[in-house]
Amino acid sequence: NKLILNFKSKDSKKIKNPKNFLGGKGANLSEMGRIGLPVPPGFTISTKVCELFYKDKKKLNSQIINTIKKELKVIEKEVGKKFGDLKNPLLLSVRSGARVSMPGMMDTILNLGLNDNTVIALANKTSNKRFAKDSYRRFIQMYGNVVMGVEGYLFEELIENYKLTKGVLLDTDLDENDWEGLINDFKKVVKDKAKKDFPQNVYDQLLGAISAVFLSWESNRAKVYRKLNQIPSEWGTAVNVQSMVFGNMGDDCATGVVFTRNPSDGVNEVYGEYLINAQGEDVVAGTRTPQYITKKARKDAKAKEASMEESMPKVFKQLDKILKVLEKHYKDMQDVEFTVESKKLWMLQTRSGKRTSKSAVRIAVDMVKEKLISKKEAVMRIDPASLDTLLHPTLDEKSSVNIIASGLPASPGAASGKVVFSSEEAERLNDMMQDTILVRVETSPEDIHGMHAAKGILTARGGMTSHAAVVARGMGRPCVSGSSEIDINYEAKLFKTSFTEVKEGDIITIDGSTGRIILGEVPTVKPEISGDFSKLMSWADSFRKLKVRTNSETPLDTKTARDFGAEGIGLCRTEHMFFDEERILSVREMILSKTVEDRNKALAKLLPHQRKDFVEIFKIMNGLPVTVRLLDPPLHEFLPKTEKEINDVATVVGLPLKEIESRINELHEQNPMLGHRGCRLGISFPEIYEMQCRAIFEALSELKIKKIKSAFPEIMIPLVSTEAEIRIMKDLVVRVAKEVQKDKKVKLDFLVGTMIELPRAAIKANDIAKHAEFFSFGTNDLTQTTFGLSRDDSGKFLNDYIENKIFSIDPFISIDDGVGDLVEIAVEKGRKQNKKIKLGICGEHGGDPKSIHFCANVGLDYVSCSPYRVPVARLAAAQAEL
Ligand code: ADP
Ligand code: MG
Ligand code: MG
């Protein structure tokens, strides 16, 4: 393989994974060229060279340098200009491009090849001195910053001061002499800060820029982004060297960013922004507020400045046509960068556009309708994890809100939190479990960690394609951008609107779907599942084999889950029914009683409550299975803690305080999660499990007698590790069932099974399956017990494990393959013993797409997850089959 490839090279067609080798940007530039779109000539230095660069102690070896020079000759010929020439100089852009787009992570350098002499040549050649000087100062700015490490604000400050002195507002108000002066100032700053002259040799410039791109792969902000997005550091980046085209030569020039469909809501319309007489980063940097591409968008936004459709109708038409070609070719919504040089359109980049989940669903469904993709492809297109944002609450329109300002609806969803003005503060409060809204003039890649920690993002500057907007959409964080109505004062830690002042720590709500900024917290409402979303889900349902149940014990959660498509309950944790204020007293009475009689008395008080809960849940889940787990946690979890709680119990039980306290001490356990819990409680205090079974069966009888359709109960014994435990517990359940059936003169159907959550249970699954009609893998505990790793304490050091690459991901989030092996053993042995055995999973992993793939592969019958993850699981289960 050649290490460096011209965009037009036929060799790039032969590469198996062009994106891996050429990076996303390079692969698409050469593909656009191949399908006949206007792309400025250039070449790609492959990711392989990045690898060599790091091997050679961060140097470009001479062979590579020679190849670069050779490829440069090819470009020179193509465009008829010469690099460093004093008559007609070729200028270059040096652009990074990893396999996947890492917005703003790597730095691009424009106008490379300008120096004190070529700038004069450029001015003469184009008869445009202002343009030439403007380009040169931009180059010094970018190169000084990216390659020589001079902080960017130093240049910006010089420009701002200059404008102040001159009494103008916009960069475009500065003329060639102004820029000339600034160029000299810039060079002084560079010399001063970098202790080196700004390089005048164009080849030094080029090699410096290429090295800088490679070096930026290991920059802190790139590392943070990779970590958040699980991008391996071995991938490296490619570098694209491309001849420049100029959007800053005058009013018939422009630069812009455009999506082939609306990235917020998915509507099939061109959506984007552009700036006349501007270059590259101007649009995304938020320094000038960009204008709309289409007339419609401009009118919708009630903006005055002409849209591109109005100001450059011919070029717009051409662009529109190219966008259609690109969508047809890539069969996906594209995010495109373009530049217009003296009325000529040039395509600078295309890639699959980032979009909100709402937009992703709509686009996938529309593209099936348009026959661009199949239903299978549509289902595969949607990242199940991204559905989360669609399922999350929006502002309750009925509540009155105190709107203090508004901005652009940059990323949908509503969020409330304390105002913070720095990423550090957002992180600090997040560690303390506090919700924040990160408020910034604009964001930069340095803010990614803070944007992650915050619940929402608000910026004062920047458009729909600004850094804040793009990154927030990618993360699924609500974002309002470009709110010119707020005036931020970082020093005083506050922002002002025309009539109010908001200080750090005050609570605000932002609505990323409408752009509203609201004082205080606003109630939210649950989203509805309908339209495109339910269509996509119905396609998913037609492909999946795994059933999807939910973990739920309250009627509200059960109802939510049912609306989201849950096909039963996979885990109903009865202890959650105990925490109610009224009941907890009886629970404590039961725990603290010393005799069976006393305990029975307390249990009798609990029975009607449990029965009522079951009646409700069984009604909602009519016709569907409901797995009820008998009491699982160690009793000490229910113990009274405060003085008042202890007094209350003492009164009810009628025992002196001292005795209660000593009983509490008795129940204390050193290691409760491995202590007296699960079926061990059922062995010691069978009367507790008897009461729970009675509540279940009486609830069923009640419904049966009233002829109300009920759910199908599956009674689950937790924390079993031996055959004897499940045998004894099953006998207990069957005995109580018989008693109730006899009592109420009804016949009841049910199953008895167990959780597999201890390694011994998995390994001895054949013995356990003799008595169990189903297994449900409790993978939270199974992970904890397999690793001997405390779920409740591991958070403190898990990060070290991830940083040292011991874990690639938290094993409590995505199932570990060792734990997976135990599941497989249990599945195999369980099925061998009992062909009809039902198999499911009810740990957190049941809602994790990767783990769901695993469950489908080992042939489980269902996964069970929290209500809001049900649609996620339905989609992931479908993808596992495709
Ligand atoms: P990013 O990955 O941050 O988008 P790019 O490499 O796409 O960086 O460059 C950023 C911007 O620089 C582009 O959107 C484009 O406007 C401008 N640019 C890049 N290459 C050229 C070029 N050859 N001619 C003119 N402008 C360019
Ligand atoms: Mg780009
Ligand atoms: Mg458990």
Please choose, from the candidates 470, 465, 471, the residue with its C-alpha nearest in 3D space to the C-alpha of residue 450: 471
- Closest atom, ligand 1, to C-alpha of 279: 16
Q: To the nearest whole number, what is the mean pLDDT of the chain?
A: 92
Superfamily of domain 254-355: ATP-grasp fold, B domain (3.30.470.20)
**DSSP class of 630:** P
CA 741 – CA 735 distance, rounded (Å)? 10
Q: Where in the chain is the domain with CATH 3.30.1490.20?
A: 4-243
The answer to whether domain 568-752 has CATH 3.40.190.10 is no
Least confident of 90-104, 359-373, 480-494, 708-722: 90-104
Mean pLDDT across 700-729: 97
CA 784 – CA 673 distance, rounded (Å)? 10
Share of the chain above pLDDT 90, in %: 70
Q: Where in the chain is the domain with CATH 3.50.30.10?
A: 392-521
Residue-wise pLDDT for 596-620, tens only, equals: 898 999 999 999 999 999 999 999 9
**Residue corresponding to tokens 């410039």:** 205
Q: Which residue has the higher pLDDT, 290 or 689?
A: 689
Share of the chain above pLDDT 70, in %: 97
pLDDT at residue 473 above 60? yes
Active site residue 842: yes
The predicted structure's pLDDT at residue 570: 97
**CB of residue 445 inside a 6 A radius of ligand 1:** no
Please, are residues 440 and 100 in contact by the beta-carbon 8 Å criterion? no
Angle between helices 18-34 and 47-55 (to 10 degrees): 140
Atom 12, ligand 1: residue with shortest CA distance? 280
pLDDT at residue 104 above 60? no
Query: Looking at the DSSP assignment, which residues form a beta bridge with residue 135?
Result: none
φ/ψ (deg, to 5) at 582: -70, -40
Least confident of 148-157, 220-229, 350-359, 524-533: 524-533
Active site residue 467: yes
Alpha carbon of residue 330 to chain centroid? 24
φ/ψ (deg, to 5) at 712: -105, 115
- Closest atom, ligand 1, to C-alpha of 96: 6
778 alpha carbon to ligand 3 midpoint, in Å?
5
Please, are residues 292 and 298 in contact by the beta-carbon 8 Å criterion? yes
How do beta strands 774-777 and 751-756 pair?
A: parallel
Q: Which ligand is closest to the CA of 257, given by its number?
A: 1
Structure tokens at 325: 């070609």
261 alpha carbon to ligand 2 midpoint, in Å?
18
Mean pLDDT across 295-315: 94
- Closest atom, ligand 1, to C-alpha of 102: 2
- Closest atom, ligand 1, to C-alpha of 105: 3
The third-level CATH classification (topology) of the domain covering 392-521 is Glucose Oxidase; domain 1 (3.50.30)
Superfamily of domain 4-243: ATP-grasp fold, A domain (3.30.1490.20)
**CB of residue 104 inside a 6 A radius of ligand 1:** yes
How do beta strands 436-440 and 479-481 pair?
A: unpaired
Q: Is residue 201 classed as helix, strand or coil in its secondary structure?
A: coil
Q: Which ligand is closest to the CA of 98, given by its number?
A: 1
Alpha carbon of residue 26 to chain centroid? 26
Please, are residues 5 and 31 in contact by the beta-carbon 8 Å criterion? no
Q: Where in the chain is the domain with CATH 3.30.470.20?
A: 254-355
**CB of residue 255 inside a 6 A radius of ligand 1:** yes
The predicted structure's pLDDT at residue 651: 87
Please choose, from the candidates 767, 706, 700, the residue with its C-alpha nearest in 3D space to the C-alpha of residue 740: 700
Active-site choice (253, 679, 693, 842): 842
Alpha carbon of residue 844 to chain centroid? 18
Q: Which strand (E) or helix (H) includes residue 410?
A: strand 408-411
Mean pLDDT across 508-523: 91
Q: Give the number of other Cβ atoms within 10 Å of residue 657's Cβ.
A: 13
101 alpha carbon to ligand 1 midpoint, in Å?
13
CA distances from 832 to 512, 545, 762, 768 (A): 54, 21, 13, 12
CA distances from 304 to 253, 793, 869 (A): 20, 57, 44
**CB of residue 245 inside a 6 A radius of ligand 1:** yes
φ/ψ (deg, to 5) at 511: -115, 100
Atom 17, ligand 1: residue with shortest CA distance? 280
Amino acid at 719: L
**CB of residue 281 inside a 6 A radius of ligand 1:** yes
**CB of residue 280 inside a 6 A radius of ligand 1:** yes
Active-site choice (253, 392, 449, 467): 467
Mean pLDDT across 306-331: 97
> Could you tell me the pLDDT band of residue 474, with boundaries at 50, 70 and 90?
low
Q: Where in the chain is the domain with CATH 3.20.20.60?
A: 568-752
562 alpha carbon to ligand 3 midpoint, in Å?
24
348 alpha carbon to ligand 1 midpoint, in Å?
6
Kindly tell me the sign of the dihedral angle through the C-alpha atoms of 573, 579, 584, 589: positive
Q: Which strand (E) or helix (H) includes residue 98?
A: strand 92-98
**CB of residue 216 inside a 6 A radius of ligand 1:** no
Half-sphere exposure of 162 (CA within 13 A, CB side): 22
Angle between helices 202-216 and 62-79 (to 10 degrees): 110
> Could you tell me the pLDDT band of residue 471, with boundaries at 50, 70 and 90?
confident
Terminus-to-terminus CA distance in the chain, angstroms?
A: 33
97 alpha carbon to ligand 1 midpoint, in Å?
11
CA 135 – CA 138 distance, rounded (Å)? 5
The predicted structure's pLDDT at residue 745: 96
pTM of the prediction? 0.78
CA 252 – CA 128 distance, rounded (Å)? 13
**In b/e form, how buried is each residue of 53-74, taking b as 16+ CB within 10 angstroms?**
bbeeeeebeeebeebbeebbee
Atom 20, ligand 1: residue with shortest CA distance? 93
Mean pLDDT across 148-175: 90
Report the 3 state secondary structure along 137-174. Answer: HHHHHHHHHHCCCCCHHHHHHHHHHHHHHHCCCCHHHC
**CB of residue 621 inside a 6 A radius of ligand 1:** no
Mean pLDDT across 758-765: 98
- Closest atom, ligand 1, to C-alpha of 95: 6
